[in-house]
Amino acid sequence: MAQGVFMRLPRVFLRDAAALIVLHSNMRRIACALFLFPALLAAETLDFDQAQKFALTHSPVIQAAYSSIGQARGRLLQAGLWPNPEIDLSYRADLFSGGQVQDKAMASLMQRFPWSGRLARAQKVSRVEVAIALSDVRDAERKLILEVQRMFIQARAAAEKAAALKKLSSSMDSLIALNEAGLQAGQTSAMAVNLAKVEREGLRQQLLSLEADEEAALAALKGSLGITGAQTLNLSGSLAEIISRLKSAAGTKKLYRPDLVRAALEADAAAAEIALARSEVWEDVTVGVEYEFMRTLDGPDLMNENFLGARVILPLPVWNRNQGNIAEKTAGRERAGRELEAAKRGIESEIAAARVRASKTSSIATLISKDSLPLLDETRGVLESSIRTGQANTTEAITLTNQEINQRLFYVDSLMNQAQALSEMEAALGSNRHLNRDIFTNALHDNKPPAKH
């Protein structure tokens, strides 16, 4: 692995950037849904790529995640609103002065002014929160794709194992037929026939287990796709095709990890929160106008007096200078910086581990396909000829069948593990082509800075 992960972040405080991003994403999701849904109804079959697209447009998890963006935008709207003006009305009558009439009425209109820049700084914090909400949605999409791929691979692996066992079961049927013919001719024993039948029953039991595994994987996949249990779902494509598809994304040097973006945004948000806490040292200034009406008795005459004035209330940060909040936000910035560095190292470890697993499982599958499987095919052909001529017995056939079962199932397991490792590496890189890349792009281990847009 190289030295580190370098990240490029655009200006996250642009007022309408998040709105345009969400609009573009929703339009893209709708277009994909219109394209895929009729195809699903017609064919009821999804390949590896179609399953991922369908999940992004129909999964209830993703649809619910998009609501968080609307919540963050609501907080952004609220952060920029001024305090409401206040009207203060009062009336006072002289009822206990021995008949002396004296009335007083007063009305004032007051407005608080956030003169310290509190609103602008609060909006900066909220804009980062909108970007964080969007990165959370994108990370949910990345994790959903990984889950869909995992269930798809498991279902196809169970199907390929079942196909291999069915082929062996057919060979076992041929062996039983040969043994039964030999039994009638007196060339073999009833024990040999029964042993072959017991072996065939064992294959049938394994087939039932594999069918259960495939159905369980399909049921889990339906949940990720947003398909009800009553709907029929068929999958197409082999593990070899899936591996070939996943290998195309394994060699990229570009990193798209929304969770890494989120960690960087949290560091930005912590810095913005410090600035907000410092601006809140000075509370809002209250400015207003007052009108006062007074009626008094001057001898036999009533006198009306009108007064118009101004009022200013200036809070003084003597005892409370927001020291606690500033200290808290400062510590939060330090924590966010450490978490960002930990996220980078964790992603590097994920990529390295997945790459090692993919390489090792690929080597195992290659060895089996080049050495073991051709040898088994050759040996089975020789064995069947030997059984027909009476030069081999049932015990040798059963031994070969057991070895072939182990090797062929192990081969499919190796393909499945390789596909899973490549899927995990793709998720670690975030390089899946169906994922939205509408916020940030990270450069992984590049020696030169990313190009400016």
What residue segments make up the domains of the chain, in order of their start? 13-81+114-282+317-444
Contact by Cβ (8 Å): 108, 308 = no
Q: Which CATH architecture has domain 13-81+114-282+317-444?
A: Up-down Bundle (1.20)
Q: What is the mean pLDDT of residues 259-281?
A: 88
pLDDT at 368: 85
Contact by Cβ (8 Å): 292, 307 = yes
Q: What is the mean pLDDT of residues 236-249?
A: 89
Positive or negative, the Cα torsion across 317, 319, 325, 326? Answer: positive
Indicate the pairing of strand 102-113 with strand 234-235.
unpaired
Q: Is the pLDDT of residue 148 over 90?
A: yes
In the chain, pLDDT over 90 holds for what percent of residues? 19
CB neighbours of residue 405 within 10 Å: 18
Most confident segment among 40-44, 50-54, 293-297, 405-409: 50-54
Its pTM surpasses 0.85: no
Contact by Cβ (8 Å): 266, 336 = yes
pLDDT at 378: 79
Q: What is the mean pLDDT of residues 166-195?
A: 69
pLDDT at 394: 65
Contact by Cβ (8 Å): 437, 24 = no
pLDDT at 450: 42
Query: 187 pLDDT band (50/70/90 cuts)?
Result: low
Q: Is the pLDDT of residue 40 over 70?
A: no
The CA-based dihedral angle spanning residues 168, 173, 174, 177, taken in that order and rounded to the nearest 10 degrees:
160
Give me Rg for the CA atoms of the chain: 37
Query: 110 pLDDT band (50/70/90 cuts)?
Result: very high
pLDDT at 150: 95
In the chain, pLDDT over 70 holds for what percent of residues? 77
